[in-house]
Amino acid sequence: EAQVTQNPRYLITVTGKKLTVTCSQNMNHEYMSWYRQDPGLGLRQIYYSMNVEVTDKGDVPEGYKVSRKEKRNFPLILESPSPNQTSLYFCASSLSAGNFLSSSSGANVLTFGAGSRLTVL
Amino acid sequence: AQSVTQLDSHVSVSEGTPVLLRCNYSSSYSPSLFWYVQHPNKGLQLLLKYTSAATLVKGINGFEAEFKKSETSFHLTKPSAHMSDAAEYFCVVSVHPNAGGTSYGKLTFGQGTILTVHP
């Protein structure tokens, strides 16, 4: 089944303890991205990757790191988590960024993971 | 720079009546615009997208949106609401690929509009 898989789905951790949220897709997608969702703020893009070894900052990159060493994986790293990083995180992928911006019709060109709820105490 | 403002945080309609969800955008370049829907405890699903073809865009489940450059708006409408339309809706802006570089990978979401449909 074509999907984006995030792990862990739920995590409670403490301030300063490094953690990694993994994201893996099995669709050979070039484009991957991370978002955080907070009440009243919608989704905010943290980082995106156009392809292997190509990453760019989104709107809220502070406190996060990413890497794209292979096409299928795009982990989100919190080196020193703080309580303001408590949030619901989504990973998403697309065949290419150009694909989801193409004029052709079709749904679900960005495929989202199920979300990872992170609590930092 | 780009930004999106969804003008209503909550919209409540009766089943069978029209739906209007409002979105204004700001973009330094020609934009690409999207509407996504998120049902409770689910991931996001694309409803429709505008990428400089027709200004009136039709999406899934009877939704459509009109791009109005003069008003910098991309409002989402549906003639008749169904109970199953109850969800949170997000307007999203990106830079058009013709702007060059890789900035079209950057997506900016609005704050979301929660749509409630009453029987």
Q: In this prediction, what percent of chain B has a pLDDT beyond 70?
A: 92
* Rounded-to-5 percentages of helix, strand, coil across chain B: 10, 55, 35
Mean confidence (pLDDT) of chain B: 89
> According to the model, what pLDDT value does residue A101 have?
58
Furthest-apart CA pair in chain B: how many Å? 48
Which residue of A43, A47, A87 to mutate against B (max B Cβ within 10 Å)? A43
Residue A95 burial (C-beta neighbours within 10 Å; 0-12, 13-18, 19+): middle
Higher pLDDT, B40 or A13: A13
Residues A100-119: tens digit of each pLDDT: 655 554 444 788 899 999 99
Check whether the bond before A8 is cis (ω within 30° of 0): yes
Please list the rounded mean pLDDT of every run of 10 residues in chain B (119 residues).
Answer: 91 98 88 89 84 84 94 96 96 74 78 96
Q: Which of A42, A50, A103 sits opposite B109 (nearest CB)?
A: A42
Which residue of B29, B104, B109 to mutate against A (max A Cβ within 10 Å)? B109
B45 is written with which tokens? 């699903």
Q: Which of A56, A101, A112 sits opposite B32 (nearest CB)?
A: A101
Q: How many CA atoms lie within 13 A of B47 on its CB side?
A: 27
B20 is written with which tokens? 């209007």
